Structure 1
Amino acid sequence: MEPLRQSTDDLDRTGKQTQEGYAPFIIVVNSGWVDGERAMHLVERKNKTGFSVMDSDDINRFKPIEGITIPDGMAYMLADIDTGKQTLNVTPNEALPTILQQNRSPLTLEEGIALITHYPELLGKNNGFSLLASRCGDRRVTALWISGGRPKLGWCWAGNPHTWLGSASCGGRRGLPAGNSL
């Protein structure tokens, strides 16, 4: 992971990291190495493990939407992550064009799980976030929230707003520098 660590040197870490709902960067393990269901069981928040209402087959149906390029390799870095407080009570369908217009990218299912693995405190009671960059061909959008005190991976309809659910985004994805591989 050392080559990824070196690519954090130019990130702006002033001020934003103290804002609620923000992370400067995270490492994302590609789903080919750890699937979403297993990854959710590895998430821990306040001594409670994560879970999903979807089985592995359903989770694996969710793939990156058109325009989202995931870096090659076992892992990559996601930078400038926002859980989407400005999109609370906005439908995922309406939030996506806004995120893209801001030159940001929505998060995939794997990226959302990685975010709460690194920063479980970003997921709060009555304050979750949708993962708009992963779709499976129907009207569902995956999302993360707290249920029974535990981090939960589930889904919501893309056309329904929720007062407690925003849409997470990032400033970019960085793969390993040329010549490195994991």
Structure 2
Amino acid sequence: MPAPALPSVTEQAERLIALGATGPLDPDALRKEAAALPDRPGLLVVGGARPSELAPLLRRADRPGFVVEDMTDVDDFAPVAGVPDAAVWLLTDPDRGDHLTNASPAEADARFAAEGRTPMLLTEGVQWVLQVPEVLERNFCFMTIGSRLRKPSGRFDARTPAVWISGGTGRDGRDRKDAPKIGWCWWNNRHTWLGFGSGAGRVVPGHHG
């Protein structure tokens, strides 16, 4: 199923401002940065926005989003590869990766490399859901394997961040049923209800090619 259409970059900036989701930028700075992006479809991403601060701003079924209790280090999940040295950028052609459901993150990563796709960062995935909440559908949610946690040893933590919908069980609690949820899965595990977020590339302000 195609991803829901995104509003214009200007409209996306105003939505982030209205939600208080501008990260380290003040509203005027975000408007200025967004205005310098090319006029083309894509997801406006604030580079310094922290997932832990964005999660409560998510909404589904009138319930706020949250981070699972055993992911207190959510903001330490950093880009695996380099990202633009810019306050904002445009992630072009964001996709939920439904065709990759039941693949492991390792397998999906290999597919993206072969196809020239860019694995989505956790902060990109969360900001995508902020803009178009209907991206999250029951049984069709997504992992964000562009972000991983590196251990002091230099190896990656086996957890892989994902954005999905709470079932209201276990430590989530019944009052969180149907709420947007930031959690994690194991790097080599498969899930029939999780795809893999990706984009065609990242474009920075001032680039109009």
Is the shorter-chain TM-score for this pair beyond 0.5, marking a shared fold? yes
The residue that corresponds to 2:61 in the other structure is 46
How far does the alpha carbon of each residue in 1:39-79 deviate from its partner, in whole angstroms, 9 at most, with x for none?
111112232211101578511221111xx322223222111
Which has a greater percent of helix? 2
1:19-58 correspondence runs (5 A): 24-31=41-48, 34-54=49-69, 57-58=72-73
TM-score, normalised to structure 1's length?
0.81
By how many angstroms is 1:2 displaced? 5.0
**Superposition RMSD in Å:** 1.9
State the match for 1:145 in structure 2: 164
* Distance in structure 2 (CA, Å) of the matches to 1:54 and 1:103: 34
Alignment correspondent of 1:109: 122
Matches within 5 A, 1:79-94: 79-94=92-107
CA distance in 1, matches of 2:107, 2:205: 33
How far apart in 2 are the matches of 1:58 and 1:133? 16
Q: Mapping of 1:59-78 within 5 angstroms?
A: 59-65=74-80, 68-78=81-91
Q: Could you tell me the TM-score, scaled by structure 2's length?
A: 0.71
- Aligned residue for 1:156, secondary structure, equals strand
Amino acid at match of 2:179: R
**Residues of 1 paired with 2:206 and 2:38: CA distance?**
12
Specify every segment of 5 or more residues in structure 1 that has no aligned partner in the other structure, as ranges.
12-23
Q: Number of residue pairs matched?
A: 161
**TM-fit CA distance, 1:103:** 0.8
Q: 1:91 to 1:56 in 2, by over 3 A?
A: closer
